[in-house]
Amino acid sequence: MITSMALLFAIGYLLIALEHKTHIDKSAIALLMAGGIWTLLSLAGNDPSIQQQLVEQLGDTCEILVFLIGAMTIVNLIDSYGGFVVITDHISTRNHRKLLLIVAAVAFLLSAALDNMTTTIILVMLARRLIADPRERRIFASVIVIAANSGGAWSPIGDVTTIMLWMRGNVTAARLVAALLLPCLVSVALPTLLAMRFITPGSTPAPQPLPNVCPPYIGPRLRRFMLLAGVLSLLFVPLFKSLTGLPPYMGMMISLGAMWILSEVIYYRKRALRNLEEPIQPRVAKVLKHIDMPTILFFLGILMAVGALESAGMLASAARWLDLHVHAAFPIASVIGLLSSVVDNVPLVAACMGMYPVADAAAVAAAADPAFARAFLPDGLFWHLLTYCAGVGGSLLIIGSAAGVVAMGLERISFGWYARHISLLALAGYAAGIGVIWIEHLWFGFGG
């Protein structure tokens, strides 16, 4: 039965990776795969603890999903008020090389609070306003992908994988930022500087302002206010966890509730003044209809499928094999990063979390190799490496991240073009960042 579960997971994973060929939504495959693996696990024996394990895995998964739904809603609410236009309208330089640096920096910082896909869409659309040459726009879009993926890796709320590790207690917000900010910055700076040689130093005419698609009562001041309120509500979440010790999804629920009330107050005040028609108003009740539910269901399916493998003991067996044959944090995490350029990083990180439980002082003291075991303490070297490698490694290929897939569609970037022109640049940044982590660990003791 264990073989059948592994085979079903492999087949499902292959179909997910080939979604663009099969034209079957990966969310459907993930849900079917999760249901099938849990069914096989149940049929393997009448162990009553399987029901309890299923409930526990579902509870852990739903914590992440509630967090993501809240974050997506707040980001979409900011967008519905035109908040991101405030950022893009301030980028007006006409020097292409300078613009590339600015765009990379904005993507790096913006994706630390937003998801990398939203960041990529915003900045690729900006590049369309400023760059006429399709080839140069592809370079800009590629650098945006690299910067967005790296920016999400150093923030506890910047990427699904960092959210997972943070919510499960593998990393803490302050230590994560301190350990990964510089490596992630290096992983962006090096490819961006190398990509500048492909950019002509010329300039373009001043960009045309974007048309105002917001309701007429939303002016520049309200846009800035909602952008500030939304970003602060997202940043409140790690602060809330640090102060209260409660799970991050509770802080996200508070932030979403506050933003919901704020938007309702604004709407009804404006409606009373201007006799507004409700169907066009950006309200949370309407924003929720635009949440990317297929992605949420994909995470549900893939995390539950990995949870079934963990409950069957397969991940523990894989960890023992790695301990025996590899037994080093850097090679294991580096390979995970390379794999994340081909397959989704969420199940890879989920599998690693299942293989290696968070260690404590007693486990380290009892381990045959305490130095290796220390890498798995909270904020240990392995967890920081895994966070970095899974996030930044997705930039090595255009299909390795949601940001890359979005850019691929928006700018017609082919897999081959990206592999020839960008992959080596991304690999150089990826390797340089790992080198910085090694130096931090060796000289400053980051990660234990």
CA distances from 287 to 63, 291, 326 (A): 21, 7, 48
Quick one: pLDDT at residue 387?
94
Quick one: pLDDT at residue 276?
56
Please check whether residue 328 lies inside any domain of the structure: no
Please check whether residue 33 lies inside any domain of the structure: no
CA atoms lying within 13 Å on the CB side of residue 61 = 24
Please check whether residue 183 lies inside any domain of the structure: no
Quick one: pLDDT at residue 396?
92
Alpha carbons 404 and 406: distance in angstroms, whole number: 5
> pLDDT (tens digit, 0 to 9) for every residue of the chain, 448 residues total?
788 888 998 898 788 877 778 888 888 998 999 999 999 988 876 667 788 889 988 998 898 889 889 888 988 888 888 888 888 777 767 788 888 999 999 999 999 988 787 888 888 888 887 787 888 899 999 999 999 999 999 999 888 889 999 988 899 999 999 999 999 999 999 999 999 988 877 655 545 554 555 666 678 888 899 999 998 998 898 899 888 988 889 999 999 999 999 998 888 887 666 665 554 467 888 888 878 788 889 889 988 988 888 888 887 787 778 777 788 889 988 888 888 887 678 888 888 888 888 988 888 888 888 888 888 999 999 999 999 999 999 899 887 887 887 888 778 888 889 989 999 999 999 999 999 999 988 887 776 6
Please check whether residue 185 lies inside any domain of the structure: no
Quick one: pLDDT at residue 278?
52
Domain that holds residue 82: 68-168+200-290
Q: How many domains does the chain have?
A: 1
334 token code pair: 């580096």
DSSP assignment letter at 200: -
Please check whether residue 338 lies inside any domain of the structure: no
Beta partners for 109? none
pTM of the model: 0.81
Per-residue b/e over 156-174, b at no fewer than 16 CB within 10 Å? bbbbbbbbbbbbbebbbbe
Quick one: pLDDT at residue 150?
95
Alpha carbons 183 and 106: distance in angstroms, whole number: 17
Please check whether residue 309 lies inside any domain of the structure: no
Please check whether residue 155 lies inside any domain of the structure: yes
Sequence-ordered list of residues with C-beta below 8 angstroms from that of 189, at least 6 positions apart, any chain:
429
Quick one: pLDDT at residue 427?
95
| Radius of gyration for the chain, computed over Cα atoms and rounded to the nearest angstrom | 22
Please report which residue ranges of 94-247 form alpha helices under DSSP H. Answer: 96-110, 116-130, 134-153, 160-167, 173-195, 220-244
CA distances from 401 to 117, 252, 313, 376 (A): 9, 24, 29, 26
3 state DSSP class of 445: coil
Quick one: pLDDT at residue 189?
96
Please check whether residue 24 lies inside any domain of the structure: no
3 state DSSP class of 95: strand
384 token code pair: 């920081």
Quick one: pLDDT at residue 321?
82
253 Ramachandran zone, left/alpha/beta (phi>0; psi -120 to 50): alpha
Quick one: pLDDT at residue 216?
65
Quick one: pLDDT at residue 212?
52
